[in-house]
């Protein structure tokens, strides 16, 4: 009985050993991984193309070593943009055309590194590989988001490739905005968009058996416009306000100022407005720039002219003579045309009989009929509403 039990235990142990400890030959690469080039130990892996994703899986031959419990490592440089991961995947996007030869090492993962219990040795093997990277055809314009278009405004985008051969262009998915077309020979997207919206489409370039494609996003919006309210002129010491507003594009506008404002005026970046009391006369060339949320910009010139402060010139009036024609003139400096002259009063507060004041020019004319001394207070009002006043004496002699 004891002998029978012993035989049974030995049989179970042998069965377990047969399952847990499989027989394996030396670690090796399979014959179908990167076929051998005739007369060479180099194995030519699938060809890659610059700018296009590449992926190829290296593996160990079944029944050898501790496969699939193996790890990989590159010895030498792979094509730029590609790398070999520890699980044997050659992947990435190649960046440079050429013929690249390198070695790859494959090593068992022993039990003390997490491999199966029967894998007690870190056996390894190496093999030389070759990957050819060709330039291929590639669309040069790789940006996914295009410069926004505006309705009723001509739009043009020239697509090109790195190929000197004839290329055929096509829209393979999505659609262009209404009003735009793709020239299948030249690759020019052009036209005048007629409807707003956000559009996504894929363009393909084909030359023989080679193709490349790129997906683009294009927003079409109403034209971005700037409206300025207020006069572009002011004068020293006078309160000035210029407002600005934007429309079209995609709202969420930001404002900027180009140029230098006169002392006393400030720019409001939140509203685009300009305000304050200018302190220095002169001509100032500034620009308001508005930008919407998709990057469209619009610029408007604001040629500010700041006039000197309005003032009446205090030149004495020449004396007038009774019965003689008289011609004199009140003068002002600064301010903004047109000007308007007014007699405010004085003593006696009116002109001699026979004389009159030209309210537009400030000319004093006529033939006085009575001698006397006339104390007058004159006021001038300019085109911006600024006022200046001064007193004058007019003598009329007999």
Give residue-wise pLDDT tens across range 196-211. 999 999 999 999 888 9
Same domain, residue pair 303 and 316: no
Same domain, residue pair 355 and 373: yes
- Percent of the chain residues topping a pLDDT of 90: 80
Residue 220's alpha-carbon distances to 128, 157, 198, 249, 290, in angstroms, are: 54, 14, 6, 8, 18
pLDDT at residue 21 greater than cutoff 70: no
Please report which helix (H) or strand (E) contains residue 378, including its range. strand 372-381
From 277, 274, 294, 338, select the one nearest 150 (Cα to Cα): 294
Q: Is residue 25 part of a domain?
A: yes
What pTM does this model have? 0.61
Cα–Cα distance measured from residue 26 to residue 95, given in angstroms and rounded to the nearest whole number? 37
User: How is residue 78 written in tokens?
Assistant: 């792979």
Same domain, residue pair 10 and 111: yes
Residue 295 falls in which region: left (phi positive, over 0), alpha (psi -120 to 50) or beta:
left
Same domain, residue pair 68 and 37: yes
Q: Is residue 144 part of a domain?
A: no
* Number of folded domains that form the chain: 4
Cα–Cα distance measured from residue 269 to residue 236, given in angstroms and rounded to the nearest whole number? 23
Do you know the residue count of the chain? 398
| Contact status, residue 364 vs residue 287, Cβ threshold 8 Å | no
Same domain, residue pair 127 and 170: no
State how far Cα 302 lies from the chain centre. 24
Q: Is residue 349 part of a domain?
A: yes
Domain of residue 6: give its range: 2-134
Q: Is residue 140 part of a domain?
A: no
Same domain, residue pair 188 and 105: no
Q: Is residue 141 part of a domain?
A: no
- What pLDDT score was predicted for residue 338? 94
Same domain, residue pair 289 and 328: no
pLDDT tens column, 148-190: 999 999 999 999 998 888 999 999 999 999 999 999 999 999 9
Q: 3-class SS at 83?
A: strand
Tokens 């393979």 belong to which residue?
172
Same domain, residue pair 130 and 11: yes
Domain end residue (candidates: 102, 134, 166): 134
Q: Is residue 255 part of a domain?
A: yes
Q: Is residue 142 part of a domain?
A: no
Question: Which segment of 3-12, 76-85, 150-159, 199-208 scores lowest on mean pLDDT?
Answer: 3-12
Q: Is residue 143 part of a domain?
A: no
Same domain, residue pair 98 and 168: no
| Neighbouring C-beta atoms of residue 10, cutoff 10 Å | 10
pLDDT interval class at 277 (50, 70, 90): very high
As to burial, measured by CB atoms within 10 angstroms (0-12 exposed, 13-18 middle, 19+ buried), residue 342 is: middle
Same domain, residue pair 13 and 129: yes
pLDDT tens column, 100-150: 999 999 999 999 888 888 888 889 999 999 999 998 899 999 999 999 999
- What pLDDT score was predicted for residue 365? 96
Same domain, residue pair 216 and 250: no
CATH label of the domain that carries residue 386 = 2.60.40.10
pLDDT tens column, 214-258: 999 999 999 999 999 998 889 999 999 999 999 999 999 999 999
Determine phi and psi for 385, rounding to 5 degrees: 90, 0
């Amino acid at each position: 009985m004891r002998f029978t039990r012993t035989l049974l235990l030995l049989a179970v142990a042998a069965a377990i050993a047969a399952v847990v400890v499989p027989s394996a030959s030396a670690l090796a690469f399979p014959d179908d991984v990167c076929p051998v080039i005739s007369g060479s130990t180099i194995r030519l892996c699938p060809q890659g193309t610059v700018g296009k994703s590449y992926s190829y899986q290296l593996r160990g031959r079944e029944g050898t070593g501790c496969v699939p419990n193996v790890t990989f490592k590159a010895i030498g440089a792979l094509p730029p943009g590609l790398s070999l991961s520890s699980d044997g995947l050659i992947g990435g996007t190649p960046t440079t055309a050429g013929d690249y030869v390198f070695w790859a090492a494959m090593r068992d993962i022993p039990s003390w590194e997490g491999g199966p219990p029967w894998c007690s040795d870190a056996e390894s093997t190496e093999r030389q590989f070759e990957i050819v990277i060709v330039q291929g055809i590639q669309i040069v314009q790789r940006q996914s988001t295009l410069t926004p278009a505006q309705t009723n405004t001509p739009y043009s985008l020239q697509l090109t490739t790195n190929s000197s051969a004839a290329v055929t262009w096509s829209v393979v998915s999505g659609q262009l905005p209404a009003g735009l077309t793709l020239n299948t020979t030249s690759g020019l997207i052009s036209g005048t968009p007629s409807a707003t919206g956000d559009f996504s489409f894929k363009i393909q370039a084909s030359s023989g058996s080679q193709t490349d494609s790129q997906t683009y996003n294009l927003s079409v919006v109403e034209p971005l416009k700037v409206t300025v309210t207020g006069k572009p002129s002011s004068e020293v010491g006078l309160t000035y306000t210029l407002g600005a507003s934007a429309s079209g594009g995609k709202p969420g506008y930001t404002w900027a100022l180009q140029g230098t404002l006169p002392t006393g005026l400030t720019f409001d970046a939140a509203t685009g407005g300009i305000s304050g009391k200018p302190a220095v006369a002169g001509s100032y060339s500034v620009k308001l720039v508005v930008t919407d949320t998709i990057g469209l910009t619009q610029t408007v010139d604001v040629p500010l002219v700041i006039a000197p402060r309005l003032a009446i010139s205090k030149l004495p009036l020449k004396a007038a003579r009774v019965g003689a024609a008289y011609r004199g003139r009140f003068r002002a400096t600064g301010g903004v045309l047109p000007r308007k002259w007014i007699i405010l009063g004085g003593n006696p507060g009116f002109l001699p009989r026979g004389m009159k004041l030209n309210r537009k020019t400030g000319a004093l004319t006529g033939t006085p009929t009575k001698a006397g001394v006339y104390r007058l207070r004159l006021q001038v009002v300019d085109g911006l509403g600024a006022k200046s006043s001064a007193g004058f004496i007019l003598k009329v002699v007999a």
